[in-house]
């Protein structure tokens, strides 16, 4: 396929997130959402992880009008073995939330945070960082804190670290709110204590 050949020639072998993001955005702005969805499928079949990443971004762009695109991200991309592709999953999910509006996205944010798949849960906690720099959460930091805090005892250490780091980010501007939340935690739990240490880094001196 011509577009895949173009990407193969354009994208260097070494990781180049800037080019991946730029090419995905360019395709999104010059093609229909149906074309984005179809091309996302084509690109995701590639053996080149960076071409796969362009496809993942396209699914994120198409998802607001195509439930199958969002489902593909949640159920298929989340199973990809590449941690680099998982980073793009987080960015693609954030793009979806940005397009529909973060307040409108609250139900899907909740749904993904409650997924059985750790990669899906982390796509939310990681993708929306810094949470309080996003519209809606900027004016409602307590909502972001509550959403994250609900997963302080997540069974996955990978997710717990993301939760703790996301709360630490928020504490830079909203230390009182984060401190108030942390004060309610049961630190006898090893898992919760791990998140607490990360989240309170800029609070406890």
Domains, in order of start, for the chain: 1-88 (1.10.1240.70), 101-205 (1.25.40.290)
pTM for this model (two decimals): 0.95
pLDDT (tens digit per residue) in 43-96: 999 999 999 999 999 999 999 999 999 999 999 999 999 999 999 999 999 999
Residue-wise pLDDT for 137-167, tens only, equals 999 999 999 999 999 999 999 999 999 999 9
Q: Which residue has the tokens 């079949």?
A: 45
pLDDT of residue 205: 52
What pLDDT sits at residue 1? Answer: 82
Q: What is the CA radius of gyration of the chain?
A: 18
Chain segment 7-35, per-residue pLDDT in tens: 999 998 777 999 999 999 999 999 999 99
Condensed to tens digits (0 to 9), the pLDDT of residues 97-153 reads 999 999 999 999 999 999 999 999 999 999 999 999 999 999 999 999 999 999 999
Look at residues 29, 27, 76, 32 and name the one whose alpha carbon lies nearest to residue 54: 27
- Distance CA(26)–CA(20), nearest Å, equals 10
Give DSSP secondary structure letters for 123-190.
HHHHHT-SGGGSTTTTT-HHHHHHHHHTTTT-S-HHHHHHHHHHHHHHHTT-HHHHHHHHTTS-TTSH
Condensed to tens digits (0 to 9), the pLDDT of residues 184-204 reads 999 999 999 999 999 999 996
The DSSP line for 38-107 is HHHHHHHT-SSHHHHHHHHHHHHHHTTT-HHHHHHHHHTGGG-S-HHHHHHHHHHHHHHHHHH-TTTTHH
d(CA 62, CA 125): 21
């Amino acid at each position: 396929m011509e577009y895949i050949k173009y990407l193969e020639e354009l994208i260097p072998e070494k990781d180049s997130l800037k080019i991946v993001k730029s090419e995905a955005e360019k395709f999104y702005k010059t093609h229909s959402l149906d074309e984005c969805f179809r091309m996302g499928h084509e690109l995701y079949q590639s053996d080149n992880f960076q071409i796969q990443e362009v496809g993942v971004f396209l699914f994120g762009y198409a998802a607001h009008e195509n439930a199958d695109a969002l489902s593909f991200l949640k159920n298929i991309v989340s199973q990809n073995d590449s941690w680099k592709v998982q980073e793009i999953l987080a960015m693609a999910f954030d793009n979806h939330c940005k397009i529909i509006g973060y307040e409108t996205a609250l139900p899907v944010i909740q749904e993904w945070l409650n997924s059985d798949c750790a990669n899906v849960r982390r796509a939310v906690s990681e993708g929306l960082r810094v949470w309080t720099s996003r519209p809606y959460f900027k004016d409602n930091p307590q909502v972001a804190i509550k959403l994250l805090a609900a997963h302080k005892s997540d069974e996955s250490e990978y997710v717990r670290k993301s939760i703790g780091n996301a709360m630490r980010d928020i504490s830079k501007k909203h230390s009182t709110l984060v401190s108030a939340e942390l004060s309610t935690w049961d630190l006898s739990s090893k898992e919760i204590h791990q998140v607490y240490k990360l989240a309170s880094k800029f609070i406890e001196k």
